[in-house]
Amino acid sequence: MLNIRKIKKPHTGYNFAFLDENTKREIRRKTLKAVAIPGHQVPFASPELPIARGWGTGGLQVTMSLIGKQDILKVIDQGCDGGVNAVNIRNLLTQTTGVQTTFDTQAATVIQTRHRIPEEPLKENQILVLQVPIPEPLRFVEASMAKTQEMHAEMDYSRMWVFLYENIVKWGEITIGARYPSLVNGRYLIDPSPIPRWDVPKLNMADSLFLFGAGREKRIYAVPPYTRVEPMEFEDYRFRVEDFTGQACVRCGSIDTYMNEIYDGSSGEKFYVCSDSSYCDKVRNRKEGRDDVGK
């Protein structure tokens, strides 16, 4: 398991948080605009980084532009603190900033994540930065970026409604598992990144700020605190989250978390484990009388 104490000391040959100050200012200006217009996609320059596009460069640039020396950083990949993507991004950020890091969701001030929102509710002093591969929710129904911008401007989401209706006609329900299209503040439709449906309700009227960065497509958008986020649904076909009824995490015994389905390679036995590894560790340690997550 990754030992957070063994992360190397910061390099001194780079600007704080790697990006130059002009680039940081540009990203902060665009982020402020995104916060002022919840759900609106704001274009930004998205310069090259020492990791390939598609590995979280959008979220990484947002984090690099916001993080300060006093911040406590947490990075997760699919809910896990020890995922390859999370480890490499954490190493890059710590080696170019020297900030304190943690696995504990409650202790972090800035959380960068790929495809999950932590199980523990976030607080007002926390910012969650999501890495976004495809920021355009209308990509399901329209390939032209110019046309989707026009549709957003006119709040013309009729083709998305038809897409959902056709889903129901064909399969008997809406089959979108991740990237569930959601309306922010009653105005802009967003792609909440490939988080599972389980996480979509956490965006609604949350205490924390959510920032979405798409490096390859050069877009930033935001869900400010206490903002309505409503997944698209019909009166007779309501939005629903994944169902884990009757299942419990094999590590901590939780029955109220989003869980990964895992098969034993030798026996073929199927079991479930919490996707949020730090929450799972915290529950397990609490049951064992220990309290050392993230330390």
**Which residues are known to be catalytic?**
39, 249, 252, 274, 280
The residue whose two tokens read 């989707």 is 148
Phi and psi for 131 in degrees, rounded to 5? -80, 130
Instruction: Find out whether 188 and 87 touch, Cβ atoms under 8 Å.
Output: no
Question: Which amino acid belongs to residue 106?
Answer: Q
Sorted by sequence, the CB contacts under 8 Å of residue 137 that are 6+ apart come out as 160, 179, 181, 182, 189, 190, 191
**C-alpha distance from residue 37 to each of 24, 102, 180, 182, 208 (Å):** 20, 31, 20, 15, 16
Alpha helices in 19-153 (DSSP H): 21-36, 57-66, 84-97, 145-153
What's the rounded Cα separation, in Å, for the pair 38 and 104? 28
Residue 88: Cβ within 10 Å count: 16
Residue 202 host element (H or E): none
Residues in the chain: 295
Strand partners, 186: none
